[in-house]
Each structure stands twice: as structure tokens, then as C-alpha cells.
Structure 1
């Protein structure tokens, strides 16, 4: 690997951003940021495996994106908090969906709960971390083994601006801490896997997803008051960044 170079650097610039023929996996791909990442990778030409935990319309979403983009998009159920299940599903995707290959994996699945720090229990603390940190690790580990065997691959971790600052007024210490840990995990893997894979993190700010829209109106107003542009980004605005990082 490790640094991407287009097959023909003299080719027209837009063609160099194509992911045609690539096999991609997106965890948490049925809603929010994840579904827009799936859509962006598919629009760039990649065949995409959409991983979901409990979404009732994941298969319909995958079929709709496939119809709109003309590439293969298929939904697979996966509990990223389980190392065994994650490895089984990703290996299945590489073998059956990717014909033995895996090019881009986006560890995007995440959860958030607003809990005062003095009220966490072992279970509520573990729930955030099992998805936001453990889930990234198990996704990375399963993908990394395939990348190493292939000699190349690309892991993208969806973290959050909460990895570096404390959002207010909500109380979400577990979410913030797990996202910070995910960033440092990504840095660690980038160094360790330098010979065979690229690892990058993206840390979005407030994005207009269900995680945001279910919040009380006064909380939304508080957030907007701290944003100079007075608007919250749409999830689709992340498509280009993820597609760029997905070049392998």
C-alpha cells in the first residue's frame, strides 16, 4: 500500500476520484450519517455492503440506493459490539459480496445517551463504549486481517467533534470519551498498519440526523447560538469527504 496513487495520474481529474469496482462496507449504514456515506460511495461507483443492527427498513434502503446509483448495495445485519459476529459478517461480505476482496471499510456505527456522570451504571456506560469504541475495534480488526492478506485496504472511522470538545448543555461523558478513544485507536492503527493499509478518522460536528432532531427545541437553539453560521450541516455534506478518503 500504503499511499494511494491513481493508475494513470494524467487521467482527467474527475476520473481519478472514481471508486468503480471497489468493495466497501459501512457499519451503521441504514440511517443518519451512515446512509449518506453508503450513498456517496455508491454514487462514486463502489459496490457497498450496508451493515445495520436493528433498522426495519435497511434492506429497502439498500435496494433504493442500488436502483438510484446502478451499483450493488446490499444490507447485512451485524452487531458490531460482538467481536465474533462482526468478524463473521465482514468475512462473509468479503467472500460472497466482494468475490474475496475488501477495499474500503467505514466504522460508522454509533450511539449516544444523555446521562449525568454521577448516574452511570456499568450497563449504561458499557452500552455507549461497546458500540462507539469496541465496535470500531472489532470492525477494524476483522477488516485489518483481510487488508493485511491483500496487502492493501482503507479504514475510515467516524468519530465526532465531541472527541476534542465537550458539547453543552447535554451530559454525555460516555459518548465523548468513547469518541476520543476511537480517534486515538485510529491513530494507533494508522501507525501499526502503515505497510498494508490507510486509516483515517472524520470528526463531524452537529449533523442533521435523528440523533439531533429528537432533542428538545431549546437545546437545538442553544447549539445554533454557538455556531457562527447559524446552521447545522446535512449528513449528505459528508459524502465527498468520505469518498475522497476511500480512494485506495
Structure 2
């Protein structure tokens, strides 16, 4: 790296990391999140809640996010069951001012944020794009699945920079790498492709102080896919080498890896957890 680039990075982002971090000698300890604070958007159910509970099991204090489905009871459950601190926050992820307010409140309540999972998202249910009337459906997908991720990044980045460390994990999708069939969901695919590339772009920008990675789930058995007819799901299973949808808990180890000190040399990665769908 040239001295000019180093000088620019030092000026704009802070000194480049040059030392290997001190790591636990036991590999199991590398996966511990004890004493860390993790914030997981879209965590009142589905993938988000499964990840939040896994992080609590690993010792992290948890900030849950919800919009239409309150999660205060789940925060209380996590606290009592795993002996950690947890609190739920209502937020409209597509409102940048609301996102900024919630992240500031979380930092105030917990003292810091070490891990952030930008997970909130919605599915495309409109079918072929050409048949859609107006632009509301497109805007809803982009505002929630892409802009919401950016709003979270924009507000957590300065906290990570101030602390000199952090792990930002984006829930993308295999739909950001391939085009699913037989369902037609151009808007969703476009949003998730942008999330995957945003991951790589932020990984470069934030390298001096934080790691940025994404997880690309395949077909997961959650409420977000309840609208899909059984015939469509049968086609999914046929095209997935493992022949089924996943339980959300089958994703959580990947998030734990990226959140923990077990992945201190991993940034800009997009890890597919899709039953093999994208390899064929």
C-alpha cells in the first residue's frame, strides 16, 4: 500500500490496524460473546430472534428490535433464561430519524454496541414486476430491505470507529447472487444484491476499525414465507440439493462466527447458508 493511500486512510478513517489481536488460547472461548452488546434488527421473530437468542446463549447482552409485533416479553425471557441484559425497542426501519434515535438510545442504555446485525426485511409478494401498479411495492422493498440496512450502518459506523472495533453483519439473501425460480421477485433480488455489495464496500471503508460481513440464507421456514403455496415450496425443495427448507436455528452458528473473535481475519465475506441452492 502506498504512503499516499496510508496517509489518506489515517486522516479519514483512523490508523490502519497492524497488529494481530490477542485471542483466547481455547477455540471455544473465541466464540464467546460474554460481556459484549449485540443489537439485532428485525428480531421479534424468525431469523432475527433465533440469532438474538444464540448471541444471548453465548453471553451477549441483547438489543431486540421490532415494529408491528412487540418483543418486550422476549427480551424479558432472554434476560431471565440466560442471565444477560436485554431490552426491546420499537423502530420503523425505513425511517432514518427513527433508526438514529433508537441506536443512540441503545448506546445510552447499554454503554456501547459491539455487534450489529442488520436483519430487518420484508418479502416481495406481488409476483411479476410488469403487472405491478404504481411504485409503492418497489419503494417498500427498497426502503425496508436496502435503505433500512444503510440507515443502520450509517449510525453504527461512528460508534464502531469511536471504539476502534465492531462487527457489522448484514442479512442478505441467496437472491442477491442468483435469480430464484419459479417465483418472480425482481425488486427483492435487486435489494439483496445491493446489500451484498454494500457489505463488500463497507468492509473496505471500515477496515481500520470494524469488520463487515453478510449472510445469505436460502429458503428458511419462517413467517415471512407463509404466503407461499405448497406447490411453490415443493419446487424450492426440488431445486435445493438438501431437499428442504431450513430451521432458523441452522443459521445461527454462521452469525455467531462472524460476530465473535473466531473471525477476526474475516471481512467482506458473504456466507451462503442455502442448502446448496447456489452451487447448482
Instruction: Give TM class, smaller chain.
Output: over 0.9
Give the corresponding residue for 1:102: 113
Structure scoring higher RCO (CA < 8 A, sep ≥ 6) equals 1
Give the corresponding residue for 1:18: 32
Query: How far has the Cα of 1:4 moved from its partner?
Result: 10
Give the corresponding residue for 1:128: 141
Judged with a 3 Å threshold, the aligned counterparts in structure 2 of structure 1 residues 6 and 192 are, in CA distance, closer, same or farther, namely closer
In 2, Cα distance between equivalents of 1:20 and 1:51: 21
In 2, Cα distance between equivalents of 1:163 and 1:192: 21
Larger Rg: 2
Give the corresponding residue for 2:97: 84
Query: How far has the Cα of 1:241 moved from its partner?
Result: 1.0
Matched, 1:209 2:261: no
Matched, 1:111 2:125: no
In 1, Cα distance between equivalents of 2:23 and 2:202: 29
Judged with a 3 Å threshold, the aligned counterparts in structure 2 of structure 1 residues 86 and 173 are, in CA distance, closer, same or farther, namely same
Contact 1:52 1:76 in 2 (8 A): yes
**TM-score with structure 1 setting the length:** 0.93
Give the corresponding residue for 2:68: 54
State the number of aligned residues: 244
Which string of whole-angstrom CA distances, capped at 9 and with x for unpartnered residues, describes residues 196-217 of structure 1? 1100000011111112233111
Which string of whole-angstrom CA distances, capped at 9 and with x for unpartnered residues, describes residues 31-89 of structure 1? 11000010111110000100111114x11122122222221121100111111110110
Query: How far has the Cα of 1:5 moved from its partner?
Result: 6.1
Give the corresponding residue for 1:170: 183
What 5-or-longer segments of structure 1 have no aligned partner? Answer: none
Which string of whole-angstrom CA distances, capped at 9 and with x for unpartnered residues, describes residues 115-136 of structure 1? 2111332211000000110000
Judged with a 3 Å threshold, the aligned counterparts in structure 2 of structure 1 residues 138 and 4 are, in CA distance, closer, same or farther, namely farther
Q: What is the DSSP-based 3-state SS (H/G/I as helix, E as strand, rest coil) of the residue aligned with 1:208?
A: coil
**TM-score with structure 2 setting the length:** 0.83
**Structure 2 counterpart of 1:146, from 149, 153, 159:** 159
Judged with a 3 Å threshold, the aligned counterparts in structure 2 of structure 1 residues 197 and 8 are, in CA distance, closer, same or farther, namely closer
